[in-house]
Amino acid sequence: MTDQPASTHPTPRLRVAPSPTGDPHVGTAYMSLFNLAFARQQGGSFVLRIEDTDRARFREDSEQQVFDTLRWLGLQWDEGPDVGGPYAPYRQSERLDTYRPYVERLLAEGKAYHCWCSTERLAQMREVQQKSKQPTGYDRLCHGRTRDERAQLPGFSETPVVRMLIPEDVELQFDDLIRGRVSAPRPDDQVILKADGFPTYHLAVVVDDHEMGITHVVRGEEWISSTPKHNLLYRWFGLEPVRWAHMPLLRNTDKSKISKRKNPAARLTWFQEQGYLPEALVNFLALLAYPPAVGPDGEDVEVFTFEEFSSDFDWKKVNPVGPIFDLKKLEWLNGVYIRALETGQLASRLLPYLQRDGVMPASPSLGELARLGKVTELIQTRMVLLSEATALVRPFFVADDELEIADDARAQLKDDSREVLAAAIDALGPLDDAGQGVLGSDSGWRAAPIEAALRAAIVDGMGIKPKFAFGPLRTAVSGQRISPPLFESMEILGKAPTLSRLGRLRDQLG
């Protein structure tokens, strides 16, 4: 128990409030991460609310994609439309009755008014204001007029909206956990209820954050200019405002805002498709606005887990300057995380990509899984993205006569390649294939004896430098110019398939 009454120190409740308007935006994950890090550190709650009041931009499957991608990243919410919670419903479209009394109250108190101006009139008004370099904003034609009075004037529309009557003395400053004292421009008479009866974001966000007991609103910096309106609504309703934190927006390398139209990396599903590890992406998103951790010798530590990030979390450390979304850095991190995985774990992470790309069947046999485990060991250090495994693994799972030889690999073949292949077949023929699969064995069909036999025959016997000696063999076995280590690959493939592939290319060159 503390001396303070519980109500002055409520348990922090944070939320992320994406709008289901298409593929989930990477910004949704970034916001979720910072909200969740603070919520977890404080022993508070993290809520997922779906802000689906923009019916024109609503997309049916988008909500499920938000759930799936955030879960994939491990950014799990405590309350939300799918898991329920004490403040359900968590979809704004299911809360329409909640907003009405708030609007009625403001209308009754003269703090809000109906506006019947048609969209054409509003557009015209804005054009005139812009041309004459006046500040743009609603000219209050409808304010103080009854419906009938207004109907006499031009630009009338039957279905009104409701606007806030922003007072002269509106408070334009507020405290931000990241930015300190912030000054925002004077707001326009904001629409809070649309003609279709749906609230706008501005009303719904205040009502819902209040009704859901939210204590901290962590959102993008594009909402800074709206905060005075939101604080005003809190004041009008006699409510204690939330604490604000406006996160810096993610930017492209040219400093423009990351948009799904221009940058595929703005879509969360893109990271899944490419084969980024969720833990690498989380680490990367944290680093975008948060400094590296400090190592034992004072050095920067850029690789950290969500738990480490959350326990260190401090709003004062968040950098308010728009971070550049540098995919090179993410690729580096992804490689670090891939190499740190246990080989078995990596193999299970690769499997869905290999299945997607048709390299492995939907229900692989134990033998196929064992082979994948061995191949994974060979390629673990050769990948930055999980999707890159497809090209590296495919040669181990295709029939010998279906192996495709890439053009750049074929282009490397020389006049003596046929002879090299023939010598390799002769050299490998006598190797016993009984050693295959016997761990630690250094005789039989193992990488070391394979290498010894090939070196003796081709490098020593024919006097060909290793670089040229093994190129044709690599091409025959993997079909690629660059492949996992050759002798280990031959070991995994087995003796008969190796000889069959060497023979096939030799015959093609004949």
* CB 75, CB 282: distance < 8 Å: yes
Which residue, 14 or 423, is less far from ligand GLU as judged by CB? 14
* CB 281, CB 337: distance < 8 Å: no
* CB 16, CB 28: distance < 8 Å: yes
Dihedral of CA 228/232/235/241: which sign?
negative
What's the closest the beta carbon of residue 91 comes to ligand GLU, in angstroms?
Answer: 12
Q: Whole-angstrom Cα distance, residue 228 to residue 44?
A: 26
Beta-carbon count within 10 A of 420 CB: 26
* CB 14, CB 30: distance < 8 Å: no
Tell me the HSE value of 137 on the side-chain side, using a 13 A CA sphere.
13
Number of residues that bind ligand GLU (CB under 6 A): 8
Which residue, 210 or 382, is less far from ligand GLU as judged by CB? 210
| Stretch of 6-14, 15-23, 72-80, 427-435 lying at the interface with ligand GLU (CB under 6 A) | 15-23
The H or E element spanning position 39 is helix 26-41
What's the closest the beta carbon of residue 30 comes to ligand GLU, in angstroms?
Answer: 12
Site string for ligand GLU, 77-116 (x = CB under 6 A): ----------------------------------------
Which residue, 18 or 484, is less far from ligand GLU as judged by CB? 18
224 binds ligand GLU (CB under 6 A): no
205 binds ligand GLU (CB under 6 A): yes
Which residue, 233 or 372, is less far from ligand GLU as judged by CB? 233
Contacts of 218 (CB under 8 A, 6+ apart): 14, 31, 34, 35, 38, 245, 246, 247
Q: Residue 46: left if φ>0, alpha if ψ -120 to 50, beta else—which one?
A: beta
What's the closest the beta carbon of residue 18 comes to ligand GLU, in angstroms?
Answer: 5
Q: What are phi and psi of 182, to 5 degrees?
A: -120, 140
Q: Which of 13, 40, 219, 229 binds ligand GLU (CB under 6 A)?
A: 219
18 binds ligand GLU (CB under 6 A): yes
The H or E element spanning position 207 is helix 201-211
What's the closest the beta carbon of residue 148 comes to ligand GLU, in angstroms?
Answer: 37
The identity of residue 391, as a single letter, is: A
Q: Whole-angstrom Cα distance, residue 282 to residue 256?
A: 22
Q: Whole-angstrom Cα distance, residue 435 to residue 202?
A: 71
Q: Whole-angstrom Cα distance, residue 359 to residue 164?
A: 59
Within 172-201, which residues bind ligand GLU (CB under 6 A)? 201
Which residue, 51 or 279, is less far from ligand GLU as judged by CB? 51
What's the closest the beta carbon of residue 41 comes to ligand GLU, in angstroms?
Answer: 19
Which residue, 51 or 491, is less far from ligand GLU as judged by CB? 51
Within 34-73, which residues bind ligand GLU (CB under 6 A)? 51
Contacts of 450 (CB under 8 A, 6+ apart): 428, 431, 487, 490, 491
| Stretch of 14-22, 58-66, 259-267, 400-408 lying at the interface with ligand GLU (CB under 6 A) | 14-22
Q: Which of 19, 45, 190, 480 binds ligand GLU (CB under 6 A)?
A: 19
Task: Indicate the length of the chain as a whole number.
Answer: 510
What's the closest the beta carbon of residue 205 comes to ligand GLU, in angstroms?
Answer: 5
Q: Which of 12, 13, 14, 17 binds ligand GLU (CB under 6 A)?
A: 17
Could you tell me which of 329, 258, 259 has the C-alpha nearest to residue 288? Answer: 329
* CB 106, CB 236: distance < 8 Å: yes
Could you tell me which of 312, 234, 188, 314 has the C-alpha nearest to residue 304? Answer: 312
Which residue, 54 or 82, is less far from ligand GLU as judged by CB? 54
Annotated catalytic residue: which of 260, 316, 374, 495?
A: 260
Contacts of 164 (CB under 8 A, 6+ apart): 106, 111, 112, 187, 189, 190, 192, 202, 229, 232, 233
Active site residue 260: yes
What's the closest the beta carbon of residue 190 comes to ligand GLU, in angstroms?
Answer: 15
Running DSSP on this structure, what letter comes out for residue 266? G
The identity of residue 318, as a single letter, is: V
Within 403-442, which residues bind ligand GLU (CB under 6 A)? none
274 binds ligand GLU (CB under 6 A): no
What's the closest the beta carbon of residue 28 comes to ligand GLU, in angstroms?
Answer: 7
Which residue, 19 or 475, is less far from ligand GLU as judged by CB? 19
| Stretch of 17-25, 162-170, 470-478, 483-491 lying at the interface with ligand GLU (CB under 6 A) | 17-25
Running DSSP on this structure, what letter comes out for residue 79? B
> Which residue in the shown chain puts its C-beta closest to ligand GLU?
219
| Stretch of 16-24, 68-76, 246-254, 387-395 lying at the interface with ligand GLU (CB under 6 A) | 16-24
Q: Whole-angstrom Cα distance, residue 265 to residue 220?
A: 18
Which residue, 137 or 220, is less far from ligand GLU as judged by CB? 220
State the residues that interact with ligand GLU by CB under 6 A.
17-19, 51, 201, 205, 217, 219
Q: Give the catalytic positions in this structure.
A: 260
